[in-house]
Amino acid sequence: MAATISSPPSLTHTTSKRISSSSHHSQRTTTFFFTQRISTYKKTVVSSSQGDKNKNNSSSQAIELQRIFEDSQSRPRPLSVTDLSSSVNQGSRLLRVAYQGLPGAYSESAAAKAYPNCEAVPCEQFETAFAAVERWLVDRAVLPIENSLGGSIHRNYDLLLRHSLHIVGEVRLSVRHCLLANHGVRLEDLKRVLSHPQALAQCENTLTKLGVVREAVDDTAGAAQHVALHKLQDAGAVASSGASRIYGLNILAEDIQDDSDNVTRFLMLAREPIIPRTDRPFKTSIVFSLEEGPGVLFKALAVFAMRQINLTKIESRPRRKQPMRASDDNDNGSPKYFDYLFYVDFEASMADPNSQNALRHLEEFATFLRVLGSYPADNSRP
């Protein structure tokens, strides 16, 4: 059965109070993060119509597009930044899930795995997917956060802090890369290969052996589309087998990733948090910053170790608004260092008093603390 949703009343949107705390608010309990939410309703002004594009395309171009894309003509085009002012679709009862990329992208497969029978909505950029959820154009977003070979998706860590969405779940997807090219093109014809930077990094050994130039694009499916649309004879694309069917390309090689256990972890994002539970495995994601000093990071992480809470991820990112600090503000010539934010995932639910006590303890060392979400862990096979 398809997932259903209820449309927002009167085209309003709900803004949840940002879950954050500092050393000046150490008296607030962590339970507050989930039991007391302040919601305000504001009228959203949206445009009632959107101009059609490309009405004057020549008939030859239309025929060429239909030949290349075949059945993909019925798929929605990616949302752009300008689309964010368009009106909300109240008629659809399918859960609308945003992902970054074009049809055939791995993120589309992750969205389908996370929310079966959903309406997957492609977006041009990660930022667009975040904004689409906030503005009620879609109900959820499914975005990559880390890969077992290529590492973290730093852009999405930054966007998690910039936006007020909540992590409500995770899904892991096994990634099997294929080398695609137009029909008639052989491996030895390739001079360059296009794909997302993460995909190129995950196929480092194969591409090095081929001796090809690597060109980074926004997403894997976009690389396949570009190769097909421009009928490139000296270029291939690293993408999924599904992208080969959508864009009419030939598969020159399969499973070209450096490691067969190539898994990408995706986060499921929503406007409101879910209620944490203790009857199943949960994971919690937080972000915090610390004062500079010897052993401060050790003390911060020790609050979890002393309570037998397992950390599954720690990521540091320089603060955008204050990336550098002087060790002595009164000395202009003093050495400077990066001011970091720390993103941490741990295996526990915020409904567990042990987790709540750990975060209360962490507040003693943190200058900033925010719970990004407490959600069911994905322990299934990718």
Active site (catalytic) residues = 264, 266
| Beta strands at 192-195 and 250-254: parallel, antiparallel or unpaired | unpaired
DSSP state of 350: T
Q: Which residues pair with 370 in a beta bridge?
A: 287
- Dig out the tokens for 80 from the structure: 């752009």
**What is the enclosing helix (H) or strand (E) of 192?**
strand 192-195
Q: What is the DSSP string of 241-278?
A: HHHHHHHT-EEEEE--SS-S--EEEEEEEESSPPPP-S
- Tokens 């959600």 sit on residue: 375
The Cα 222–Cα 70 span in angstroms is 16
The Cα 162–Cα 271 span in angstroms is 14
Among the listed residues 84, 182, 179, the one whose alpha carbon sits nearest the alpha carbon of residue 138: 84
8 A C-beta contact, residue 170 and residue 283: yes
Three-class DSSP category at 102: coil
Among the listed residues 253, 224, 179, the one whose alpha carbon sits nearest the alpha carbon of residue 69: 224
8 A C-beta contact, residue 31 and residue 352: no
8 A C-beta contact, residue 222 and residue 246: no
CA distance readout (Å), 122 to 104, 330, 368: 10, 50, 34
- 52-57 long-range contacts (CB < 8 A, ≥24 apart) are none
How many Å separate Cα 298 from the centre of its chain?
29
Q: What is the DSSP string of 72-129?
A: GGGSPPPB-GGGGGBPP--S--BPEEEEESSTT-HHHHHHHHHSTT-EEEEESSHHHH
Residue 60: what residue type? S
Length of the chain: 382
